[in-house]
Amino acid sequence: MTRFASLAGMTAISVAAGSAWAVELEVMHWWTSGGEAAAVAEFARHFEERTDHTWVDGAIAGGGAVARPIMVSRILGGDPMGAFQFNHGRQAEELIEAGLLLDLTDVAEAQGWRDIVRPSNLLDACTVDGRIYCVPVNIHSWQWLWLSHKAFEDAGLEVPSDWFEFVEAAPALREAGKIPLALGGQPWQSTGAFNVMAVAIAGPEAYAQVMGEKNAEVARGEDYARVFEAAVAAREMAQGSNVQEWQQATNLVITGQAGGQIMGDWAQGDFQVAGQVAGEDYSCLPGLGVNEVISAGGDAFYFPVHSDPAVTEAQKELAALLLDPEVQVDFNLAKGSLPVRGDVNLDAANDCMRKGLEILAAGAVLPDGVTTLSPDTTGQIDDLMAEFWSTSMTAEQAQERYAAIIEAAD
């Protein structure tokens, strides 16, 4: 026994009563905002209550762009954690090809993930050559406009019902001393806001052509030209929101200093933590109130390969637990995201989540950029958007450079 423990090396092993090995499983993620931390605590609670294992929380502050390199170097460096969160899709592609991630196909088949996970493209994003390598835990969609009722009341305005009304209200908001549109300074936020505007203004087909098929012709075309013009207007509206993190920008909306924010449904969790009520204190407009569709991206957990069978066993137990109906409900209610299985009871869901569920049930689902574009292309678009939103680059220049990136995308 002791010899085996010493062979296990870095992984801490202790012997539990009976034959089961209790493992300390280190789980790395970048969920640090109020709503996110509450959500991940649900996973930890269920994991420790239902198994003998211990959840070691490895939260990394600063978002995915900071956390991903740390996780990847841990795995490549031969000191893998027990499990880690990624946005599924192409980010883990090469790790899977290199055989560094655990094949979960047996767990998936035993539990029938194919039948319970919806929309099915979430599981497809976890599948490489017919094998399943990750557990999708939630559906996140970017296409939301969050509006502060207080800000509009202060300015003596009606709360708008779509993007175009919002743009019209912007000068009045500005006059009332509000920032019309809150936007954090990190590049991924401006890219996200742009993509949301693309769905709303160019329409879902054009968006799917550009994101899914990487069609540069469409990216150069009329529809996208209107998107870039709208983005120039949005850039004006975002003047003055000197914040970096998305939580800070959301906070501007919560406190009524800003009229609205384009942000994914994870912002919901922060409204909830602040004690705000959907429909009373804030409104949410899916697809900016123009095209009610959502792009189903999300978070997924991956499990690096360990040589110790006890760890592998614990990893598979966690993988199965993440999709448990009860766990799914507790986690997603806290996080403000939608569960990946349709057969769970979501009576506790609030106004905004219900809207999302209806859209999902109607099947108005688009591919998310994270699942179709390589991190390299995403990075280039992020750089372009960061530059575009902070300078006076014209719509035409930005569109041409955007199309060139789409053209060269792999």
Partner 1 sequence: MAALDEIPRRAAAPAAPARRRPAVLRNLQAKIASLPMILIALVVFVGCTLWTVFHSFTTSRLLPRTDWAGLAQYRRLWGEQRWLVSIENLAIYGALTLVFSLVIGFTLAALLDRKIRGEDVFRTIILYPFALSFIVTGLVWQWILNPDFGVQAVVRSWGWTGFTFDPLNNPDIVIYGILIAGLWQGTGLVMVIMLAGLRGIDGEIWKAARVDGIPAWKTYLLVIIPMMRPVFVTALVLIGSGIIKVYDLVVAQTSGGPGIASEVPAKYVYDRMFRDQNLGQGFAASTMMLVSVAIVLIPWAYLEFGRRRKA
Task: Compare residues 69 and 309 and give the one whose CB is closer to partner 1.
Answer: 69
Between residues 200 and 384, which has the closer beta carbon with respect to partner 1? 384
The only residue of 222, 242, 280, 347 in contact with partner 1, by rule CB under 8 A = 242
Which one, of 19, 51, 30, 74, lies nearest residue 306 by Cα? 74
Q: Which of residues 85-104 bind partner 1 (CB under 8 A)?
A: 91, 93-95, 98
User: Considering only CA atoms, which of 83, 254, 67, 256 is closest in space to residue 154?
Assistant: 256
Interaction of residue 245 with partner 1, rule CB under 8 A: no
Neighbours of 125 (CB within 10 A): 25
Question: What does the alpha-carbon distance between residue 59 and residue 310 come to, in Å, rounded to a whole number?
Answer: 23
Instruction: Provide, rounded to whole angstroms, the least separation between the CB of residue 397 and partner 1.
Output: 10
Looking at 73, 255, 307, 345, which residue binds partner 1 (CB under 8 A)?
73
Select the residue interacting with partner 1 from 11, 141, 186, 268 (CB under 8 A). 186
**Residue number, 85 or 378, with CB nearest to partner 1:** 378
* C-alpha of 368 from chain center: 10
State the DSSP code for 288: G
Exactly one of 389, 398, 402, 406 binds partner 1 (CB under 8 A); that residue is 389
Among 380, 395, 399, 409, binds partner 1 (CB under 8 A): 380
Whole-number Å distance between alpha carbons of 271 and 281: 9
Task: Return the number of the residue (68 or 335) whose C-beta is nearest partner 1.
Answer: 68
Q: State the minimum distance, in angstroms, from the CB of residue 263 to partner 1.
A: 18
As beta bridge partners, residue 182 has: 261
* Pick 14 or 73: Cβ nearer partner 1: 73
| CB closer to partner 1, 7 vs 76 | 76
Q: Which of 72, 172, 321, 346 binds partner 1 (CB under 8 A)?
A: 72
In angstroms, what is the minimal distance from the CB of 119 to partner 1? Answer: 26
Compute CA 18 distance to the chain's CA centroid, rounded to the nearest angstrom.
40
Phi–psi pair at 363, nearest 5 degrees: 80, 20
Query: Could you say whether residue 387 binds partner 1 (CB under 8 A)?
Result: yes
Q: How far is the CB of 162 from partner 1 (least distance, A)?
A: 28
Q: Which of 200, 56, 346, 125 is nearest to 335 (CA)?
A: 346
Cα–Cα separations (whole angstroms), residue 359 to 33, 278, 296, 349, 374? 26, 17, 11, 14, 27
Burial annotation 317-338 (CB, 10 A radius, 16+ → b, else e): bbbbbbbbeebbbbbbbbbbbb
| 136 counts as binding partner 1 under rule CB under 8 A | no
Q: What is the nearest approach in angstroms of partner 1 to the Cβ of residue 1?
A: 37
Residues in region 198-217 near partner 1 by CB under 8 A: none
Q: Binding-site residue total for partner 1 (CB under 8 A)?
A: 30
Q: Does 394 bind partner 1 (CB under 8 A)?
A: no
C-alpha to C-alpha distance for 315 and 338, rounded to whole angstroms:
24
Which of 70, 64, 26, 32 is closest to 44 using CA atoms?
26
- The residue among 11 and 378 lying less far from partner 1, judged by its C-beta, is 378
- Toward partner 1, which CB reaches closer, 215 or 248? 248
For 282, residues 6+ apart whose C-beta sits below 8 A from its C-beta are: 146, 147, 148, 149, 253, 254, 271, 276
Q: How far is the C-alpha of 100 from the C-alpha of 73, rounded, in Å?
A: 12
Output the smallest distance, CB 395 to partner 1, in A: 16
Catalog residues that contact partner 1 under the rule CB under 8 A: 65, 68-69, 72-73, 76, 91, 93-95, 98, 185-186, 242, 244, 374-376, 378-380, 383-384, 386-391, 401
